[in-house]
């Protein structure tokens, strides 16, 4: 073999040993603090093999992140859910030995995570709201308008939705979690959200569709959301989201939440071609094939948190 060629190969091997390793090999998603996922209305951690955050925890863990999917009441007020989440955050901190966690909340999980950061900012490194109901939802407003308190239709709806929430809670292994769908609807309404934001304003934009403070009381705030209700003809839920999207009178929305309502802190994007379920890679991965995969967006965000020392 040519000695010159051998020398070149040896030189190349030596160079490779001293070069920094690529991001995927050094923990692309390895955040300083654990990532804690907070589900939305009628959500769960998992039911059998189906995760609420479909395929997302595993993808984050594969490159170094410590990830915990929490379970709170499938339907209840933001404050009740927030206290339940706070209890689990304390347990996660005790188990991991870390001083803080990074909260990521979807839908009603957004304000639920915000509640925890507001009352215990010392335990939270960041809050990320994904399709979060931060300024209320027209769908909740419409529901409360159609079925006002005390009406027969309200009683029927509350009975059915409380039953659904109880079944979800049972199937996902939750114990002792109270369900109150009327309290949930009020929390998610425009009026309920305004009241909540007065008590817990951290990260909320001061303009109708702007950005909020990037950091408050040592907690960093981020958000992103979708803006397309119908994204996959194979997903049986998409037609329903296309119908509920009509409640927004043409305003940009993901089928359940207006894009501007989802803003919190630093807005990464509010116009992904995703609907409300796509934002958590549902239904079972049937998402828009012409948009960045939701799992990739979570991985990118974990890397963002890592690079910011979070």
Catalytic residue selected from 107, 126, 187, 259: 107
Catalytic residue selected from 39, 108, 276, 301: 276
Q: Is 77 assigned a catalytic role? A: no
Angstrom CA distances, 270 to 96, 167, 218, 225, 238, stand at: 33, 33, 24, 5, 19
Residue 100 and residue 125 in contact, taking contact as beta carbons nearer than 8 Å: yes
Phi/psi region, residue 236 (left: phi>0; alpha: psi -120 to 50; beta: rest), is alpha
Whose CA is closest to 53, among 33, 68, 32? 68
Which residues face 62 on adjacent strands? none
Catalytic residue selected from 45, 63, 238, 254: 254
In the structure encoding, which two tokens stand for residue 310, read together?
């979070």
Rounded to 5 degrees, φ, ψ at 103 are -95, 135
- E strand or H helix at 195: helix 190-199
Q: Under DSSP, is residue 33 helix (H, G, I), strand (E, B) or coil?
A: coil
117-122 LR contacts (CB < 8 Å, sep 24+): 117/202, 117/217, 117/219, 118/199, 118/200, 118/202, 119/82, 119/86, 120/86, 120/89, 121/202, 121/216, 121/217, 121/218, 121/219, 122/218
Angstrom CA distances, 77 to 81, 203, 308, stand at: 6, 20, 32
In the structure encoding, which two tokens stand for residue 111, read together?
């304000």
Q: Is 107 assigned a catalytic role? A: yes
In the structure encoding, which two tokens stand for residue 121, read together?
């900012």
Question: How many CB atoms lie under 10 A from the CB of residue 61?
Answer: 14
In the structure encoding, which two tokens stand for residue 236, read together?
């049986």
Q: Is 254 assigned a catalytic role? A: yes
Which positions are annotated as active-site residues?
107, 254, 276
């Amino acid at each position: 073999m040519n000695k010159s060629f051998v020398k070149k190969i040896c030189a190349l091997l030596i160079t490779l040993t001293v070069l920094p390793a690529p991001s995927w090999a050094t923990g692309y998603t390895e955040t300083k603090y654990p990532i804690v996922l907070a589900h939305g209305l009628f959500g769960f951690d998992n039911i059998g093999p189906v995760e609420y955050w479909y395929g997302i925890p595993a993808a984050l863990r594969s490159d170094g992140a410590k990830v915990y999917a929490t379970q709170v009441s499938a339907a209840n007020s933001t404050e009740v859910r927030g206290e339940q989440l706070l209890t689990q955050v304390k347990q996660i901190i005790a188990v991991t030995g870390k001083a803080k966690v990074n909260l990521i909340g979807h839908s009603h999980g957004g304000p639920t995570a915000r509640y925890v950061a507001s009352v215990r900012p010392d335990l939270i490194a960041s809050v990320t709201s994904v399709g979060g109901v931060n300024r209320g939802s027209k769908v909740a407003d419409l529901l409360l308008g159609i079925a006002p308190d005390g009406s027969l239709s309200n009683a029927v709806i509350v009975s059915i939705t409380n039953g659904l929430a109880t079944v979800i809670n049972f199937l996902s292994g939750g114990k002792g979690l109270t369900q109150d769908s009327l309290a949930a609807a009020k929390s998610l309404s425009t009026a309920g959200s305004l009241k909540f934001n007065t008590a817990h304003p951290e990260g909320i934009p001061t303009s109708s569709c702007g950005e909020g403070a990037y950091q408050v009381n040592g907690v960093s705030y981020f958000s992103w959301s979708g803006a397309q209700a119908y994204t996959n003809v194979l997903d049986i839920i998409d037609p329903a989201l296309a119908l509920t999207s009509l409640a927004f009178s043409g305003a940009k929305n993901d089928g359940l939440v207006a894009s501007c309502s989802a803003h919190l802190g630093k807005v990464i994007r509010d116009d992904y071609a995703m609907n409300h379920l796509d934002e958590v890679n549902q239904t079972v991965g049937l998402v828009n094939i012409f948009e960045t995969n939701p799992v990739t967006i979570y991985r990118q965000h974990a890397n963002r948190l890592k690079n910011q020392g979070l």
